[in-house]
Structure 1
């Protein structure tokens, strides 16, 4: 039986799950997950949430690494999460550059629709999109997700550029990190 959309959390990767770099994460050696993020994903899973990832990976189009290297990083991530009792239901990634004209690169919602299809959901209304950039939130908003911004990665910079995100009447919830979001979401249920 497919998961329910209101029990789905979609995460950006770089800056939310692992340390980000303006020079791109090009190898397993450079892939450094935040320990609290791994635990947070597992806590969400153990509380009956389905967790998926949607990540722009333009480093592939730029020739910094290939899809096989990305696959190694993602297999490592899945193993770390499995070791703590969690599971990623799906990882969608966009290998295109910003000028490639694809429909998957955030802020477009193509990867989120890939997740919807892979998980056999009628819609993504009521699910959560958690990111550290405005484009993550825009992709989630386009498909009816609840929105959460974390201050890790580019999150603080995003808040400085878009202070309206933190306004009380805004629709975006702000958290220090993925662990804070997971604690809040699990307690809110």
Structure 2
């Protein structure tokens, strides 16, 4: 089994400091959907783990979050990609739950659901909290952030075993061999 647990904001889509609320606010990062498609074709199970404090704070409605994820799933499908499940923490930061990252509860739920061992699990995201939660599992940890230069030291809040990549597409290209070109069509056949 190969399990990739992705963060959503900053990994699949552009992120800022506000809560994504409306479906039109979801914009895929360049190459991210195609990277998920490559993981799928490579036999990986791909899921999301995301903090959604906007729900607990009353700033995001459940219907809006569902509509946003529906848009995300349609965009993935159009690229030949699939996210198998979306796991999220709906709690506000001060609620003290075990599922809000960097706490490990959400990651443990995912690992249990998929029966994945730590050596089979890759936690991929753009923030320290997501990777800290993955560190509790003993998973492979990968930061995807355009602002991170190769070989640059990460801030101390990141676990020491984190590998940095400029994007999800760059990470996937390093994980999977180049995909072969389809064989040429026989003469006289239609493409």
> What is the TM-score of this pair, normalised by structure 2?
0.83
Quote the offset at 1:187 in angstroms: 2.8
Count, aligned residues: 175
Cα offset, 1:179, TM superposition:
0.6
1:38 counterpart = 2:52: no
The answer as to 2:89 corresponding to 1:94 is yes
Any stretches of 5+ residues in structure 1 without a counterpart? Answer: none
For residues 95 and 88 of structure 2, the distance between their equivalents in structure 1, rounded to whole angstroms, comes to 14
Unaligned runs of 5+ in 2: 179-191
Q: Which has more radius of gyration?
A: 2
RMSD: 2.2
User: What are the Cα deviations for residues 130-156 of structure 1, in whole angstroms up to 9, with x where unaligned?
Assistant: 11111111100101110000114xx65
| Residue 109 (structure 1) aligned to one of 101, 104, 110 | 104
Name the structure 2 match of 1:178: 168
Equivalent pair of 1:90/1:115 in contact (CA under 8 Å): no
If the length of structure 1 is used for normalisation, what is the TM-score? Answer: 0.84
Tell me, in whole angstroms, the C-alpha distance in 1 between the residues paired with 2:26 and 2:10. 11
* Superposition misfits of 4+ residues, deviation over 2 angstroms: 116-119, 122-126, 163-166
Structure 1 residues 11-70: Cα deviation after superposition (integer angstroms, max 9, x where no partner): 000111111121211111111111311111111101111111000010111222112211
Q: Which has the higher helix share?
A: 1
Q: CA deviation at 1:106?
A: 0.3
